[in-house]
Structure 1
Amino acid sequence: MRSVRAKTTIGATAVVAVALVAAGFAVLLVLRSFLTDQAELQAEVTAREVASRIAAEGDAGPITVPSTEDRPVQVVDEDGRTVAVSKDLEKISGTGSADVTPEPRRTGGDEADEPDPGDDSEEPDRGHVSGDPPRFSRGEATVDGETAGYIFAAVDVTIGEGRDVTVYAGAPLTVEQDAVESVREAMLAGLPVLLLVVGSVTWLVTRRALRPVEDIRTEMAAITASEDLSRRVPEPGTRDEVARLARTTNETLAALESSVERQRRFVADASHELRSPIASLRTQLEVGEAHPGLLDVPGAVADTVRLQQLAADLLLLARLDAGERPGRSRVDLAALAREELSQRGAADRVPVTVVAADGVEVLGSPGQLARVLGNLLDNAQRHAAGAVTVSVRREGADAVLAVGDDGSGVPEAERERVFERFVRLDEARGRDDGGAGLGLAIARDVARRHGGTLTVADSPAGGALFVLRLPVA
């Protein structure tokens, strides 16, 4: 099952089915409990009515049971003997005795000893009904040939001195059983229909909800097949997760398009930059082979060095683009600046002044940070008129390394463009040592890899001021 729509539909239907089954059981239990309570109440009412009649008659004669319609009644004495039953009661279980043949008896002797109604002698004893809660039990009874289940309520009655009986009155469970059975059958009949409706609605809603996803997938497949990264997936007008997915996908496509375009320009520019020194070097070697006296050895060495530097720059950019993480060594920027200047020595065209505060340390790669400083110094000396300044200081949580010159500066409109790869301003293109236009691009990439920034502004001396900001270690 690979379809999200099918999985969602089956899952939702299963959840609804479980919920309906659980709710159905709960409803049946509540209904059964309610109807049982009603039957117990009816049985108790009947038992107390009969008990009250027996208590009112007292111990003057045989116990009789009034008519109770379809509710069976049995009266049992303290010895477990049946002394009275309701009319048409043929069989009973679940009470104090299974005997339905009453054995009535008197308490005052022979009939001749019964008091005359006109006699003013002593009245017969009156009984009373026990105030204890009734006791309930379940059983069956056969009344007039029909057997059914009943709930019996037992109520104790005292009808004379030392004589107690228990009245058992039953209420039929037929209503409870019929009602529960009807509800159960209705639930079983309606459950498949309801689940079918839930499944159908879920299928349609999921289909509508996933339609934009299918459109996105179709467009992405077309983009993959055509390799046209300028295309974009459709964005639905909603504000849900699918719309955010479409926007994120388009942003990814835009970033990928930009990356591929940048890579294409990089390859084209690298090919162009490599072609010149290689062609020059080959020409000089061919001339030297044909005419050894005309071989320009210094020029060949210069072209080789330029080719070596360009190859090193391209290799570093490839490593940066591949996501290489910088080291985590502690680097003292003041010491780094002094060491870099000591290695450059007298080869610098313009003298460099260092104003550095000691103890300003950052975490990173010493080699890559030295490369950044070297590239900034190369750029400053290439454009400076007569002075280059390097300063190191701390500003809050940032370590700041600044390289300034007194040259013509960088026009404000070009201050972001100078950090692009293979970009050289017109003045730099006119110089033989103008470089390949990779130094500043490498410097900014390294700064970002170290969690910092590299920007350009106006120098107090009138030229350009490149400012490197890194988090303090």
Structure 2
Amino acid sequence: MTTEKRDHARPWARHLLFSVRGRATLITVVVSALILALALVLMLLLARDWVKSMVEHETERTAERIAFELSRGGNPGIIDVGPDEAPMVQVVTPEEEVVAASDAIRGRPALAIADLARGELLIDQRVCPDFLDTCVWAFGLRIHTSPWGSNAMVIAAAPLPGLLNMWLLPLALLGLLAALLSLIAWWTWHTIGQAFVPVDIIRAEMADLDALGLDHRVPVPQAPGGVKSLAETVNATLDRLEEAVTRERRFVSDASHDLRNPITGLQTRLEFALGEPDDADWKPMVRGALRDTRRLNDIVADLLELSRLDARTPMPVEPVDLAALVRREVGLRAGDVPIRMRLEPGVVVRANPVRLSRVLGNLLGNAERHAESRIEVTVARDGADAVVEVLDDGSGIPEEARERVFERFARLSESRARDPQGTGLGLPIAREIAEVYGGSLRIADSRRGARFVLRLPLVTGDGPPR
């Protein structure tokens, strides 16, 4: 599996988690959770202390009211507590006998005992008697006179707050914590996503730069900031790149045109000189000069064609029958290696016939240089594509060098030995032309020799090629 396929095979959730957006959201949520959890604990502690203070105040107020009523001669048999007072009230004698109690604790032992001999006249503490299910806060004070004698103690008690009897508050705070974390996560994800929208647009524009051309520019956001500076820097870089490429193309085009004129004149004069009588002893030298001149002309023609392809110079296109084109190109060749053709009729593509002739000429010329005894040319349909295959029975091309032969001016050692005069531009030009018309050119596996496969979109009856 290639690296690209492995990247696409990564789980979607893992991809989001390890993205900048995912990491920022995760870090924000974790930090927020720690802060909010600390705040939650502090709020619970504060709530517990507040409720405890309220309980202490409630018991103290209740005990003082009951003691005041008893000291004024109130009915000793009735101890009523109001809805806002401590529910448990007892009157305990110095002999630790409970002589009166409220309904909530009637018939129970004393909640707390104060040692009168030691001068303890007040109780204000947390007690946990065995006969109650929970701890309570008890407040008691002695009264000098009462229906049961002197130094009786009035004790008021109320349950203390805890997680068991305050469960609604922790649940509410936990719900609030979950809601806040969800809101923080969504807001962080949404905000970072919105911030990266211009970056994603710039990335998409740069990814399609080959199709859009170097004259295309990425959009510049209106809001000031780092993204706007990034877009302006990208556009400035594209300006410099376009200028450099334009200068390069202009140089190649100008050099090609400037070289072709003297080369054409020299070639004409040499051909004219060769028409002189055969006894001239300078003819071998002139023939060599003519060969060099033709090679220079081929190089210039290849450079000019590459310049046109790089600039995507439009050329008129028309339906081209590949079988007829192959027959014509094979008929023009006078090589020593026989060429066998298997041509399916009606395989039509839409392209410039001159450029397709150049592609076939380059492929056939390459096959002739390396073939031992035969060359096979096949034209067929394959789904929505037209396929042209050129196969020779030479030594073939190693798999690791199959892409290198399509690099400009790249030549393998065998190719240099068989054709020292080659330019190394024929196959790159052929691939460029194939890609201009939406096709491809590659080297496929074969049992012997090199197998070049050209694919182009078919012209169907419904309209232009895909």
Q: TM-score, normalised by structure 2?
A: 0.42
> For the pair shown, which has the larger CA radius of gyration, 1 or 2?
1
Q: Normalising to structure 1: TM-score of the pair?
A: 0.41
Higher relative contact order (CA 8 A, sep 6+): 1
